[in-house]
């Protein structure tokens, strides 16, 4: 009879795929992504919405960088499977503090932080769930248009999945069309209107749920 081996196998630990998301907004965007995470009921993916104090693009990017550094120190971050995202608006930051905007974009690209930029605001991303729109639009106009579809719209409320879930694939398709149109017209990167980054992030999350 063969002798049983006394050698123990090294313990193994399953570490799920991690997605770090830092948002400019304190209510709308975090509630939106948390709602998607909860609706998907992901068991092998950790979607971490990062709390932080900053609202400018550079602060958002730095929040993601610090969180990723912590995960790397814990040896729970794997570049080949995990991803980090910074979510913030466009026009207002570009107009009010362009150096901050440019530095945030530069650092994010250098450090391989994914950008989900909604230009002019998250309300535009919500708007294209309901209709196509390809012209430059101000944030107040985007909100007014959105209210035609969601009366009494409130930034503090979450509209996923109730209002948005069934229309998400339409929004992703329209975002891709906007991205292609911007390239055809040789517009500046993240030109208004823009939401291709956030559509890519949402598409990735939904794909994990499948």
Beta-bridge partner residues of 17: 45
In a domain, 10, yes or no: no
Residue 196: the pLDDT is 87
* Dist CA 155 CA 209 (whole Å): 26
| pLDDT > 70? residue 3 | no
3-state secondary structure (DSSP) of residue 114: strand
Q: What is the separation, in whole angstroms, between the first and last Cα of the chain? A: 48
pLDDT at 210: 66
Containing structural domain, residue 48: 17-209
Residue 12 lies in a domain: no
Q: What is the pLDDT of residues 20-58, one digit of tens each?
A: 999 998 899 999 999 999 999 988 889 999 988 888 999
Report the SS3 class of residue 192. Answer: coil
> Apex CA 98: angle with CA 97 and CA 99, to 5°?
95
Looking at residue 98, what is its pLDDT? 95
Q: Is residue 116 part of a domain?
A: yes
Whole-number pLDDT of residue 52: 85
> Is 203 within the bounds of a domain?
yes
Render pLDDT for 107-147 as a digit per residue (tens, 0 to 9): 999 999 999 999 999 999 999 999 999 999 999 999 999 99
Residue at 89 is within a domain: yes
pLDDT (0 to 100) of residue 12:
40
Identify the band that residue 11 occupies on the pLDDT scale cut at 50, 70 and 90: very low
pLDDT greater than 90 at residue 95: yes
3 is a domain residue: no
Beta strand spans in the chain (E): 17-23, 45-50, 83-89, 114-118
Looking at residue 194, its pLDDT comes to: 95
pTM, 2 dp: 0.90
DSSP H helix total and E strand total for the chain: 8, 4
User: What is residue 13's predicted lDDT score, i.e. its pLDDT?
Assistant: 43
pLDDT at residue 99 in the model: 97
- The answer to whether position 72 is within a domain reads yes
Q: Cα separation of 178 and 187, whole Å? A: 11
Query: How confident is the model at residue 116, as a pLDDT?
Result: 96
Domain count, the chain: 1
Q: Which residue has the tokens 């517009």?
A: 187
Which pLDDT value is given to residue 54? 85
Look at residue 138 and tell me if it is in a domain: yes
Higher pLDDT, 209 or 174: 174
CATH number of the domain that residue 117 is part of: 3.40.50
At 166-203, the pLDDT tens digits run: 999 999 999 999 999 999 999 988 999 999 899 999 99
Q: Which pLDDT belongs to residue 157?
A: 96
């Amino acid at each position: 009879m063969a002798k049983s081996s006394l050698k123990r196998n090294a313990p193994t630990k399953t570490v799920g795929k991690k997605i770090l998301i830092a948002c400019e907004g304190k209510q709308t965007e975090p509630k939106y992504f948390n709602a998607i995470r909860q609706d998907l009921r992901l068991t092998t993916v950790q979607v971490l919405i990062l709390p932080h104090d900053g609202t400018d693009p550079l602060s958002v990017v730095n929040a993601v960088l610090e969180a990723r550094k912590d995960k790397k120190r814990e040896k729970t971050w794997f570049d080949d499977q995990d991803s980090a995202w910074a979510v913030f608006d466009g026009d207002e930051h570009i107009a009010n503090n362009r150096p901050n905007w440019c530095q945030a974009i530069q650092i994010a690209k250098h450090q391989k932080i994914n950008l989900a930029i909604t230009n002019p605001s998250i309300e535009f991303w919500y708007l294209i769930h309901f209709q196509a729109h390809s012209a430059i639009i101000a944030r107040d106009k985007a909100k007014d248009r959105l209210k035609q579809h969601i009366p009494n719209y409130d930034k503090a409320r979450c509209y996923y999945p109730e209002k948005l879930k069934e229309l998400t694939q339409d929004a992703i398709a329209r975002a891709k069309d906007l991205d292609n149109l911007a390239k055809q017209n040789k517009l500046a990167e993240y030109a208004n209107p823009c939401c291709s980054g956030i559509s890519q992030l949402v598409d990735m999350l939904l794909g994990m749920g499948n």
